[in-house]
Amino acid sequence: MSRLGKMPNWQRKFVIIGMMTCSITGLMYLLGHQFQIQRSTLGTHSILAAHGIAAMLATLALGSVLPFHLKAGYKSNRKRWSGFSQLSFLAVLLVTSALLYYGPEEIRDVTVDTHWMTGLLFFAIFLLHAFQKLRSTNPHS
């Protein structure tokens, strides 16, 4: 089945696994560190390191879809809201992650909050975008 903007199976799996792993490890760290749930297990440096590595893979996955999937999705006029929302959230996540690592201490608390809130929004939109069935292109059906 050839469809404009449809990713090859390997790429779709790479994107889903990359984004899901990053989101799940981020959620684990959020629960452990920020919300003190199972802190000794979830709020550890190893979970944070896994999240960082998963974020690098997710960034590679994002880069793999930008050249054609984004352009094709825009032209097809499908899932624009969720697609561009994800792209915007990912930009915020990349900037806030850099600020968490390299930014000044004075903005750390607001950066942490912005990062995890945006991450939760991204995860919800990603799930909708990745697993929602495409609506029919026929306006009369």
- Determine if residue 104 is left, alpha or beta; phi over 0 gives left, psi from -120 to 50 gives alpha, anything else beta: beta
* HSE-up (13 A, CA, CB side) for residue 65: 30
Contact status, residue 113 vs residue 92, Cβ threshold 8 Å: no
- A 10 A CB-CB count for 74 gives 14
- What is residue 138's DSSP assignment? -
Q: What is the pLDDT of residue 138?
A: 41
pLDDT of residue 20: 95
Residues 6+ apart with CB under 8 A from 85: 121, 125
Rounded distance between C-alpha atoms, residue 79 and residue 130, angstroms: 10
Query: How far apart are the C-alpha atoms of 118 and 114, rounded to whole Å?
Result: 6
Kindly give the confidence (pLDDT) of every residue in the chain, 141 residues in length, as a single tens digit, with 9 standing for 90 and above. 346 567 889 998 999 999 999 999 999 999 999 999 999 999 999 999 999 999 999 999 999 988 888 788 778 777 788 888 999 999 999 999 999 999 999 999 999 999 999 999 999 999 988 887 644 344 443
Q: What is the pLDDT of residue 139?
A: 46
Place of tokens 């059906």: 141
Q: Are residues 15 and 64 in contact, defined by beta-carbon separation less than 8 angstroms?
A: yes
The set of residues, in sequence order, having a beta carbon less than 8 Å from that of 15 and lying 6+ positions away, is 7, 61, 62, 64, 65, 130
Separation CA 132–CA 24 (nearest Å): 20
**Amino acid 4: pLDDT:** 58
